[in-house]
Amino acid sequence: MKKTEFFVLFLVSLIILTAPTIVHAANDNVTIDVNISESSTIYVLPTTLNWTSADSGQEGGIKNITIQNIGSLNVTQIYINMDTLESEQNRPYGSDDPTEYSSGSVLTIRNESGGQFYFAGRLEWNWTQDIPTHSWAAVTDPVAWGFFRNTSSDYVWVLGNGTSYGCNDTDAQFAIEDDVDIGTLGTRTPDDTSIDTPDTSDENYGYFSDDRASSPTYRYCIAATASCDKIFIYHFDQRSGFTGCDTSQYIKENALAPGQTTIVEVNPFIPAGMPSGYLNQTILTVTAT
């Protein structure tokens, strides 16, 4: 064999030996289906709120609560209530013990649309003593009276007994003074205009709504106990029974979709004349449909 022929054969062999091997890939598909079960769950953060050294007669300062829908269904009709009625079961007036007073009674809230702060569950007790220089002319049978204390301002209120001798009677009456109390007859003559008698009643409370724009409890609900010993003032509480007040509202009524959040601002309004120290701890409950 000639030298040239040998060299050509060598090159051909080398090309054959070094040529890449072509591999055809095989493939197939897997169909994925994920079905999420139905659940209604909300998560509230933070789990604890604390205000220290809040001044008497002042606001404590705004903090935020985030409500998140961590379930798989829309939630609606979100409302908030405080356990003030459980954490302040006895009349605390005259005590220098701060734990006699509920923290829930001073807390105010507003929703993400802003506007007015409303007491989440303000508890005011019958004064038991006479309030000098007053007129209870707005009610037929005055049986209890006291002060609605909003930070540094006090407003005189009065309850009128129903014919069946209970402030949960359908004809019981509630009236409140529009002017800040300065000890004069003009600031101690409560008015029942646009409040008058309860919207509804049950065995425990008469539920009044206040539609008088000049009133300090305008757009609030006032639940008067059957025994007339105290009034519970609220706006965003939709628990069973408390919905009987015409002006009670949801903190958020329309849908909160899965993964969405809504913000609630909270701020303690400390009435003047509160004893120093920590008030009785209270629980804020958020409920959604």
Q: How far apart are CA 151 and CA 57, in angstroms?
A: 4
- Contacts of residue 79, Cβ cutoff 8 Å, sequence gap at least 6: 236, 237, 238, 239, 250, 251, 286, 287, 288
Region for 38 from its dihedrals, namely left if φ exceeds 0, alpha if ψ lies in -120 to 50, beta otherwise: beta
The number of helix segments (H) and strand segments (E) in the chain equals: 2, 15
Look at residue 7 and tell me whether its pLDDT is greater than 60.
no
Share of the chain above pLDDT 70, in %: 92
Mean pLDDT taken over the chain: 91
pLDDT band at residue 214, thresholds of 50, 70 and 90?
very high
Q: Do 280 and 107 form a contact (C-beta atoms < 8 A)?
A: no
pTM above 0.75, yes or no: yes
Mean pLDDT value across residues 276-287: 95
Q: Do 160 and 174 form a contact (C-beta atoms < 8 A)?
A: yes
